[in-house]
């Protein structure tokens, strides 16, 4: 069984992002970049499935600029067998990425596609669902447990009312939640081994995919700073402030 797993290069979660002075986006110049944390969980789960003998190959995929090779090498160091970079200098929005992944699914024919549920830079939470729709595959989002056996994937997921268990016929698309696993620490020997693993580079045109943006960012702004709290002497004063100042009543 082949597993396709996606990884995205994002600003490291420990970095405090800054908005560009012209409001056109987030400043990523000279900023530490790393793998999206949810994608790390996806890679870890794929590698665990291979180590358990369920899968025979794990293929890591990234879409974006040339520097995404570094993110793919991290995935290879975690345990993926080979990498595919779909290189593009264009802004890749969720629909464009989903179309690229659909083309790769047609090419690679994986039995399972595992994605992080969302990226911490845009928080879109759309790519996995769009891929499932485009490819006509069953999907299970926000997975907290995945068991693959007898041509089916049994996925536990958290919902507002508690827990839900889905049974999917493979091939299928699964997106990961935080509770699925804890990614392993990448050791230096594995980092060295990852440098020798195959990494293929493609262009969107090679896959016949149009990645032109459909959406335009009008403005990016930092959230307003929170004002200091105020102590009130009694409930009457609190109600007055909520009604007259906060205007929430």
CATH number of the domain at 94, please: 3.40.50.620
CA 211 vs. chain centroid, Å, equals 18
Q: Which position has the token pair 């067998």?
A: 81
Domain range enclosing 85: 2-244
Residue 6 domain-assigned?
Answer: yes
Alpha-carbon distance of 98 to 110, in angstroms, equals 15
Residues 42-101: pLDDT tens digits? Answer: 999 999 999 999 999 999 999 999 999 999 999 999 999 999 999 998 889 999 999 999
Q: Is the pTM here over 0.75, yes or no?
A: yes
CB-side exposure of 138: number of CA atoms within 13 Å? 14
Residue pair 156/144 in contact (Cβ under 8 Å)? The answer is: yes
Q: How far is CA 76 from CA 38, 92, 142, 190, 235, in A?
A: 16, 23, 24, 8, 59
Residues 212-249: pLDDT tens digits? Answer: 888 888 888 888 888 888 888 999 999 998 998 888 87
Residue 207, burial from CB neighbour count under 10 angstroms (0-12, 13-18, 19+): middle
Residue 249 domain-assigned?
Answer: no
Q: Domain count of the chain?
A: 1
Residue 113 domain-assigned?
Answer: yes
Residue 175 domain-assigned?
Answer: yes
């Amino acid at each position: 069984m082949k597993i396709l797993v996606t990884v995205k290069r994002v600003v490291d979660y420990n970095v405090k992002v800054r908005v560009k002075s012209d409001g056109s986006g987030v400043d990523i110049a000279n900023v530490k970049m790393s793998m999206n944390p949810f994608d790390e969980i996806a890679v870890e789960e794929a590698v665990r499935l291979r180590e358990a003998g369920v899968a025979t190959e794990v293929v890591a995929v990234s879409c974006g600029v040339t520097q995404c090779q570094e993110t793919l090498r991290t995935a290879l160091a975690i345990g993926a067998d080979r990498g595919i970079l779909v290189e593009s200098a264009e802004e890749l929005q969720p629909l464009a990425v989903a179309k690229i992944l659909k083309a790769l699914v047609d090419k690679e024919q994986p039995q399972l596609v595992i994605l992080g549920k969302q990226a911490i830079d845009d928080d879109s939470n759309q790519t996995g669902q769009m891929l499932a729709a485009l490819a006509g595959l069953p999907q299970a989002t926000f997975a907290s447990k995945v068991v693959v056996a007898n041509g089916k994937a049994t996925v536990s997921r958290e919902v507002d009312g508690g827990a839900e268990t889905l049974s999917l016929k493979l091939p299928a698309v699964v997106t990961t939640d935080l509770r699925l696993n804890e990614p392993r620490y990448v050791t230096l020997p594995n980092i060295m081994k990852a440098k020798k693993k195959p990494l293929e580079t493609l262009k969107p045109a090679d896959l016949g995919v149009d990645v032109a943006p459909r959406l335009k960012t009008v403005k990016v702004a930092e959230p307003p700073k929170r004002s200091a709290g105020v102590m009130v002497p009694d409930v009457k004063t609190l109600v007055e402030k909520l009604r007259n100042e906060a205007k929430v009543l």
